[in-house]
Amino acid sequence: MFEKIKKKGFQVLALHHAEAILTHDMAGAAAELEDVLLDVKIPAEELVRGGGGEGELTQRLRHALADDLGWRKHNFEIKKIVDGEEKESISHEIDHVKRFPNGTFALEIEWNNKDPFFDRDLENFKRLHADGVISIGAIVTRGSGLQDALRDVIAQVARLNGVNGAAALTEYYSPTARQLDIIAKAAKAKDSFEEGWAHAFVSDKFGEATTHWRKLEDRVRRGVGNPCPLLLIGIPRQAIVL
């Protein structure tokens, strides 16, 4: 399952019988998702523009899934009614939902949010699965290799584009006074503006407290989202184009 994207470096983890469900009951869902992910490319400069680049990548994925294949945003509303009187109403909004003949697939893309968003997604999947409205929940995020490579990638962007001083940053984004101070200190410590900026920028925008593979894996290993069938996918370093 997902052999094509695995060959491209994607991390894939299926939990709680998700692989069996996708293989035997929802092969079409797996094929559609894999086809979209095979086309993922992230221009390195996009990581910098707008302070992170998550908007552009996420928009491309959303367009491919929602507009082309019908994986659209859906708000599940679950009501508790006792003797005809509504006692409780809970809603769960999922960014990408598609109903297939043998089940319903729910998907969230967490490219660069704060990591508590993983808790929200996994708990939503757990509740929706318990209520029998989804068959599987999936999350796509930054893979561990991509996360580990970000400082080197940003430093390469700086060297390739002549970003060798604070003034050159205005072409990409507008650093705050706080950020400029951190960049200056990091550049002095690294004895290189490019390396110092890369270190400061990644710490600020793609730090450990954001959504990436290790944070997601830690949660599912602790049982968050259990027993909902889960599919986790990490976007690899190979997806970045310099």
pLDDT in tens, 16-40: 999 999 999 999 999 999 999 999 9
Reply yes or no on whether the pLDDT at 225 is more than 60.
yes
Reply yes or no on whether the pLDDT at 55 is more than 90.
no
What's the mean per-residue pLDDT of the chain? Answer: 93
Q: How many domains does the chain contain in total? A: 1
Reply yes or no on whether the pLDDT at 53 is more than 60.
no
| Percent residues over pLDDT 70 in the chain | 98
Q: How far is CA 227 from CA 14, 81, 91, 200, 205, in A?
A: 12, 26, 20, 39, 32
Asked if residue 56 lies in contact with residue 48, where contact means CB atoms within 8 angstroms, the answer is no
The β-bridge partners of 86 are: 81
Instruction: Taking residues 112-116, report their average pLDDT.
Output: 94
Q: Which two tokens stand for residue 126?
A: 């757990």
Q: 138-185: per-residue pLDDT in tens?
A: 999 999 999 999 999 999 999 999 999 999 998 888 889 999 999 999
Model confidence pTM above 0.85: yes
Q: Count the neighbouring beta carbons within 10 Å of the beta carbon of residue 129.
A: 22
Q: How far is CA 36 from CA 32, 67, 231, in A?
A: 6, 12, 15
Lowest-pLDDT range of 54-68, 78-92, 127-141, 190-204: 78-92
| Percent residues over pLDDT 90 in the chain | 83
Q: Which two tokens stand for residue 129?
A: 């699965």
Under DSSP, the state recorded for 239 is: G
* Residue 82 burial class via C-beta count within 10 angstroms: exposed 0-12, middle 13-18, buried 19 and up: exposed
Question: What is the pLDDT, as a whole number, of residue 187?
Answer: 95
- The domain of 131 spans 3-241
Question: What is the pLDDT, as a whole number, of residue 50?
Answer: 59
Q: How far is CA 86 from CA 22, 82, 105, 127, in A?
A: 36, 6, 28, 19
Q: What is the CATH number of the domain that holds 218?
A: 3.40.91.20
